[in-house]
Structure 1
Amino acid sequence: MIVGRSGTTEPPAQRRGGTASGRPGAQSQGVLGFLREAAIVVVAALVISLVIKTFFAQAFYIPSESMEDTLKVDDRLIVNKLRPGPLDIQRGDVVVFVDPGGWLRPHYEEPTVVQQVLTWVGLLPADAGEHLIKRVIGLPGDEVACCDDQGRVTVNGAPLDEPYIKPGAVPSEKTFDETVPAEHLWVMGDNRPRSQDSRYSQGAVGGGFVPIDNVVGTAWVRVWPLDRLGMIGRSGETFADVPDPGTREPAPDQETAGD
């Protein structure tokens, strides 16, 4: 202790005009500790985000009108990456897939390095630079055709009533009759006149069919804008009466083998 002129004593810290906890060394240790903890939190968040993006879910945004009115331009959505995988793809699912080759025109701007890194770890939604999003109409082995006498798409001979098609659009302005090969899908956009899909990609790699291995996942929930927040359904009732491939009933004027 220091004896002052008045005969009183002062603690050393007061004599220096501060407190013991306010020493520069203690302050720097506190700052370093905070920065270390913050770095741990950031790294952990990035690792968790990367794991989720790699195995479970991924964010995407919609750059075009090909899936209107189900999905609109600039919608943000979460894609379930467990399908395909433990959960199989079904008719009516809305799927995100990598361009099989020749479907997309190269008109997208190249993202910056920072954008690429943030997208890679899952903190930014992926753009459509190499991805497309469409609705599954035909599974492997299905016969998909258009159109019947009422202008409808048929799958294995069963006509589809498609409530998800954009109002005012017809099921297809282009006729087709195709059998989906093994391990592939036939896909179409909900805004049929504005969709570059299986119908218009038959001259591209794969003949318009999408390899199941190219599928990133199925659209799960729309998260932005908030007034459109909600689950993205697959409209399974549309395909409820579609028979399995090879079990199609012959038309009345057709004869079965052996008759």
Structure 2
Amino acid sequence: MLLTVLAAVLATTAVRTWVVDVYTVDQNSMQPTLDDGERILVDRSYPGSSGADRGDVVVFDGTGSFTPYQADHGALVELAERAGHWFGIGSPPQTYVKRVIGVGGDTVACCDEQGRVTVDGEQLEEPYLGWRPSPEEPASEQSFDVEVPPGRLWVMGDNRDESVDSRALLGAPGGGMISEDRLIGRATDVFWPWSARRDLAEDSTSAADPHPLLGSADDHERQEGTDEQ
């Protein structure tokens, strides 16, 4: 019996370490994509040899970057939080969920004349936001113009007014960039609450497209005459 239990624990540990894990969202920074309290499946094989992709919703360890913005509750509380995560209650301390906006080599800026984020000078399509960016309501109230070094990521929350992300760390070591080796995985699905389960995968990404979330000039012209969905 003991060997059976031990084997089950080892098997579960292996799956959650290298295949898929469960995390609980405990922040509002990703609304409307993710709500506080939702449980998400995280692909632990990500990012693999191809690296991270723009538009992916990622879970990462903020140790050394985002931790100044999270209160230190002590070693015992941290241990309890990690134990709770193992049993599906909450997430490990210093864990964040954000969206990849820029990868190594990108120049990410905000905002252009239409109030949008640009990547290498091209407008970024952001259908996941709760509003359509405009000069009056830009994609970010904070301006920035940064070049992302190789191996690092520029990340932002979808709820831009409530998100502590790369913008808040521009003056910190690393300049607001998250190292890819801090990635825990990519959020793929919401599985709880059951009534809210859904797939989070970005179906618009393509390996053949260097900027999978960037619209063409024709797209922008057509969109000028359309209403917000």
Same fold per superposition (TM over 0.5):
yes
1:221-241 CA distances to partner (integer Å, 9 max, x unpaired)? 111111111111236369436
Structure 2 counterpart of 1:54, one-letter code: T
SS at match of 1:140: coil
Cross-structure match for 1:56: 19
TM-score by length of 1: 0.71
1:45 aligns with 2:2: no
Structure 1 counterpart of 2:35, one-letter code: K
Q: Give me the CA root mean square deviation.
A: 2.5
Cross-structure match for 2:116: 152
Query: Offset at 1:66?
Result: 0.1
| Cα 1:107–1:87 shift into 2, 3 Å | same
Query: Offset at 1:128?
Result: 5.0
Contact 2:81 2:93 (C-alpha < 8 Å) held by counterparts? no
Structure 2 counterpart of 1:229, one-letter code: R
Distance 1:233 1:108 in 2: 33
Cross-structure match for 1:240: 212
Structure 1: 5+ residue runs without aligned partners? 1-36, 244-259
Distance 1:64 1:114 in 2: 19
Query: Offset at 1:204?
Result: 2.1
Distance 1:87 1:126 in 2: 30
Alignment of 1:99-138 (within 5 A): 99-104=62-67, 105-107=69-71, 111=77, 116-117=82-83, 119=85, 122-125=86-89, 127=91, 129-138=93-102
Distance 2:123 2:32 in 1: 22
Query: Offset at 1:97?
Result: 0.9
Which of 47, 53, 59 is 1:90 aligned to?
53
1:2-26 CA distances to partner (integer Å, 9 max, x unpaired)? xxxxxxxxxxxxxxxxxxxxxxxxx
1:224 aligns with 2:188: no
Which of 170, 188, 193 is 1:202 aligned to?
170
SS at match of 1:236: coil
Query: Offset at 1:185?
Result: 0.5
1:66 aligns with 2:52: no
TM-score by length of 2: 0.80
Which of 151, 154, 160 is 1:192 aligned to?
160
Judge which range, 63-72 or 126-135, deviates more: 126-135
| Cα 1:112–1:154 shift into 2, 3 Å | closer
Cross-structure match for 1:166: 130
Query: Offset at 1:132?
Result: 0.9
Structure 2: 5+ residue runs without aligned partners? 216-229
SS at match of 1:205: coil
Distance 2:77 2:44 in 1: 23
Structure 2 counterpart of 1:147, one-letter code: C
Which of 13, 18, 42 is 1:79 aligned to?
42
Q: Percent identity?
A: 35
Query: Offset at 1:156?
Result: 0.8
SS at match of 2:33: coil
Structure 1 counterpart of 2:82, one-letter code: Q
| Cα 1:204–1:241 shift into 2, 3 Å | closer
Query: Offset at 1:167?
Result: 3.6
1:86-141 CA distances to partner (integer Å, 9 max, x unpaired)? 4531110011111153524333755475663464xx43355252111110010100
Count of residues in Structure 1 that have an aligned counterpart in Structure 2: 204
Query: Offset at 1:151?
Result: 0.3
Structure 1 counterpart of 2:162, one-letter code: R
